[in-house]
Amino acid sequence: MSAPLVETRVMARTTPQPGAVWPALPLPEWKDTYATLHMWSQIVGKVRLALAPSLNHWWHVPLYLHERGLTTSAIPYGSRAFEIRFDFLDHRLVIETSTGDFRPMALEPRTVADFYKEFREALDSLGIEVRIWKVPVEIPDPIPFDRDETHKSYDRDAVRRFWQILLRIVPIFEEFRGRFLGKSSPVHFFWGSFDLALTRFSGRLAPERPGADAMTREAYSHEVVSVGFWPGGGGVEGAAFYCYAVPEPEGFSSASIRPAGAGYHEGLHEFLLPYDDVRANPSPREALLAFLQSGYEAGASLGKWDRAALERR
């Protein structure tokens, strides 16, 4: 490879691209679509949960960013594999197998019950048998998927803007991830809580959590600092970036976190930075990296992590 070509490729990765304005996504304008899409993603995610080999910290559960939306990645099924993708360009759900079979479903205003019925029929037509628990998780007052006639909104523009936001965030999270030499998670999209998440580990076991359920015990078996992005809800009236430490070290809640606008939420035990603050910043990337780095430093330093061994110089 010639030197000029190398230089061109490096510049393509580091030079801001035209039209890279971060989209607005006020929660009140798309909360009904958000709620519906959340339920659809849980239906798809539960298939991956049921069929993918188990991994520690529930890493076999999430979805991942795709160039057209969100994907399960390849799910093994006997001698075959299949993938389920949310395509937010053509607004369809696609189930595709390693043998070339393909089933599309329209993403449009429709009830969760209707979506669930067609989705199960599509899996059946591909010879994919899977049992899932039909009750949503991590939400108040869950309605079983096959009886949910309440959630039925789908605003194409809002969904595409949400996906465009993820497209901007994930590379920055990956850049932050690359600064760490210790164990860290991929950049996951957890369908239960409907958030993007990245976790760093100290390498030490975490103290027992009295009364914790099996899911929580597995997720937080080791000391972590986690960062992520969440569209909001539950008292947080807008999209926000977050950072928390488990176990939370003494003094964490009063740590100095950058940039201005970040603050500690007593109810969530997390630092939050409003998405709109990042979006309005002259350099959203630098503002977000400052939040991720200062939040991690607070948790790692106060938690007495071996930072010299864990961080890339």
Same domain, 52 and 189: no
Phi, psi of 33 (to 5 degrees): -65, -45
Average pLDDT value for residue range 70-75: 98
Q: Under 8 Å CB-to-CB from 105, ≥6 apart: which residues?
A: 92, 93, 94, 95, 115, 118, 119, 122
Phi, psi of 211 (to 5 degrees): 80, 0
Q: How many Å apart are CA 104 and CA 94, to the nearest integer?
A: 4
Q: How many Å apart are CA 277 and CA 55, to the nearest integer?
A: 35
Same domain, 175 and 107: no
Same domain, 104 and 241: no
The residue segments making up the domain with residue 204 are: 156-310
Show the tokens assigned to 193.
Answer: 């809580």
Residue 15 lies in a domain: no
Q: What is the pLDDT of residues 274-289, one digit of tens each?
A: 999 999 999 999 999 9
Same domain, 93 and 168: no
Average pLDDT value for residue range 179-188: 97
Q: What is the pLDDT of residues 125-137, one digit of tens each?
A: 999 999 999 999 9
Residue count of the chain, please give it. Answer: 313
194: left (phi over 0), alpha (psi -120 to 50) or beta: left
Same domain, 49 and 130: yes
Same domain, 138 and 162: no
Check residue 254 and give its pLDDT: 98
Residue 181 lies in a domain: yes
Same domain, 89 and 165: no
Check residue 20 and give its pLDDT: 66
**Residues 30, 162: contact at Cβ < 8 Å?**
yes
